[in-house]
């Protein structure tokens, strides 16, 4: 939520309006312009999406994979394609699993961006106007009615038979009836009946709501940030697998060196030593 007001669902509509400095006539044009500069445009931001071939290639950027690729090549050269094909099939399967997971994450990000509203009706200086949704700022009064997509997170001020489809957030298939009365500050997301969330759709009724958060500060913005961060930040399990891969490489190299030394001491040729290593 915006830093202009904390837990707006636990406060009365009047308290939220006073905190955001708008009043029943909405923000003045000057105030709206100043807040747009302070808070930035009401848009969801994302990191650049990598093309599919980069995602697929990244699946092979692992020391353990390098070792297996090397083993497969040596197997193919000295013992024929059968053993190498088995190793290659395992590597391909592992890469496809990781690739599919990353593609799903990218599609989830794209789906979130499609939820953004293109335009919004706001009341400014006592007049209701239609503006680009990117120009909505904290403190704006949203004028909403059936069929509208909510342009930002907002605290309901007044509503008449207002119901909103929030399946994007809660999974609830039935529209949620909205009520401007305050709820507990600890209320979970699905119990904040006096809040409207960016990307949800008004299915019935009409209402007036004061914007409390825009862009990446909205609930959907936080979800988008979490998905984007999850794609870039490696998990503890991935770090553990990387450490295991490095350790296995050193163990295998150490074992190969010891095996080669023992074989050479017994008078074996270099080609025979290499074939012995591949077989091992």
Looking at residue 225, what is its pLDDT?
Answer: 81
The b-or-e profile of 84-118 (16+ CB within 10 A means b, else e) is beebbeebeebbeebbeebeebbeebeebeebbbe
Confidence of residue 59 (pLDDT cuts 50, 70, 90): confident
Confidence of residue 1 (pLDDT cuts 50, 70, 90): very low
Mean pLDDT of the 201-217 span: 94
Q: Which residue has the higher pLDDT, 121 or 53?
A: 121
pLDDT above 80 (res 114): no
pLDDT above 50 (res 27): yes
Confidence of residue 105 (pLDDT cuts 50, 70, 90): confident
| Nearest to 217, CA basis, from 137, 156, 143 | 137
pLDDT above 70 (res 23): yes
Looking at residue 146, what is its pLDDT?
Answer: 94
Highest mean pLDDT of the ranges 79-83, 221-225, 268-272: 221-225
Residue 44's CB is within 10 A of a number of other CB atoms, namely 20
Give tens-digit pLDDT for 117-165. 789 999 999 999 999 999 999 999 999 999 999 999 999 999 989 999 9
Give tens-digit pLDDT for 219-261. 988 888 877 766 555 566 666 766 776 677 677 677 777 776 7
Looking at residue 181, what is its pLDDT?
Answer: 95
pLDDT above 80 (res 49): no
Confidence of residue 33 (pLDDT cuts 50, 70, 90): very high
The pLDDT mean for the chain works out to: 82
Alpha helices in the chain (DSSP H): 13-20, 29-39, 52-58, 63-79, 81-113, 167-170, 219-232, 236-265, 270-279
Kindly report the pTM of this predicted structure: 0.66
| Nearest to 3, CA basis, from 217, 219, 222, 225 | 217
């Amino acid at each position: 939520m915006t830093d202009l007001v904390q837990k707006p669902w636990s406060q009365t509509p009047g308290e939220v309006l006073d905190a955001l400095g708008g009043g029943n006539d909405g923000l003045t044009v000057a105030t709206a312009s100043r807040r747009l500069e302070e808070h930035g445009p009401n848009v969801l931001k994302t990191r650049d999406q990598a093309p599919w071939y980069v995602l697929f290639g990244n699946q092979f950027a692992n020391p353990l994979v390098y070792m297996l690729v090397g083993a497969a090549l040596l197997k193919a050269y000295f013992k024929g394609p059968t053993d190498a094909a088995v190793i290659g099939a395992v590597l391909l399967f592992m890469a496809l699993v990781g690739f599919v997971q990353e593609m799903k994450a990218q599609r989830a990000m794209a789906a979130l961006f499609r939820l953004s509203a293109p335009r919004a009706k706001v009341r400014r200086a006592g007049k209701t106007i239609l503006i680009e949704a990117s120009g909505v700022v904290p403190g704006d009064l949203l004028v909403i009615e059936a069929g509208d997509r909510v342009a930002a997170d907002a605290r309901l001020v007044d509503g008449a038979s207002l119901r909103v489809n929030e399946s994007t957030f809660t999974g609830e298939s039935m529209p949620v009836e909205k009520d401007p009365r305050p709820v507990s500050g600890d209320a979970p997301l699905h119990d904040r009946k006096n809040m409207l969330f960016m990307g949800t759709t008004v299915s019935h009724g009409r209402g007036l709501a004061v914007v409390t958060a825009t862009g990446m500060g909205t609930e959907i913005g936080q979800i988008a940030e979490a998905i984007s961060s999850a794609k870039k930040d490696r998990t503890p399990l991935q770090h553990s697998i990387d450490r295991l891969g490095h350790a296995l490489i050193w163990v295998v190299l150490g074992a190969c060196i010891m095996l080669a030394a023992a074989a050479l001491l017994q008078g074996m040729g270099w080609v025979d030593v290499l074939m012995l290593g591949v077989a091992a």
